[in-house]
Amino acid sequence: MPEIAEIRLGDLVQMRKPHACGENEWTIVRTGIDIRIQCRRCGRSVLMARPQFLRSAKRISRPAPRDEAES
Ligand SMILES: [Zn+2]
């Protein structure tokens, strides 16, 4: 399991198991206690509890890192 300090909207996530449509990359569309991810190919979204998400995720990448000050 990757070390994930935080999950942000728009992050790309690669899951351990591909979606039924064959795609394996998802976009984070909602964060919080539950995480909603949307399949990049077919557009279906799945809501899952954060611990379950962290178990299922293989890799998370941030396509466009921003340099805003955050504190
Ligand atoms: Zn899909």
Q: Which value, to the nearest 10 degrees, does the dihedral of the CA atoms of residues 16, 53, 3, 67 take?
A: 110
Q: Which value, to the nearest 10 degrees, does the dihedral of the CA atoms of residues 23, 59, 5, 46 take?
A: 20
Q: Choose the weakest-confidence range: 5-19, 22-36, 52-66.
A: 52-66
Task: Provide the pLDDT confidence category of residue 64 given band limits of 50, 70 and 90.
Answer: low
How far away, in angstroms, is 65 Cα from ligand 1 center?
25
Task: Provide the pLDDT confidence category of residue 59 given band limits of 50, 70 and 90.
Answer: very high
How far away, in angstroms, is 6 Cα from ligand 1 center?
24
Q: What pLDDT does 6 receive? A: 80
How far away, in angstroms, is 37 Cα from ligand 1 center?
11
How far away, in angstroms, is 2 Cα from ligand 1 center?
22
Q: Are 13 and 60 in contact (CB under 8 A)?
A: yes
How far away, in angstroms, is 46 Cα from ligand 1 center?
10
DSSP letter at 34?
E
Task: Provide the pLDDT confidence category of residue 12 given band limits of 50, 70 and 90.
Answer: very high
Q: What pLDDT does 65 receive? A: 60
* pLDDT beyond 60 at 1: no
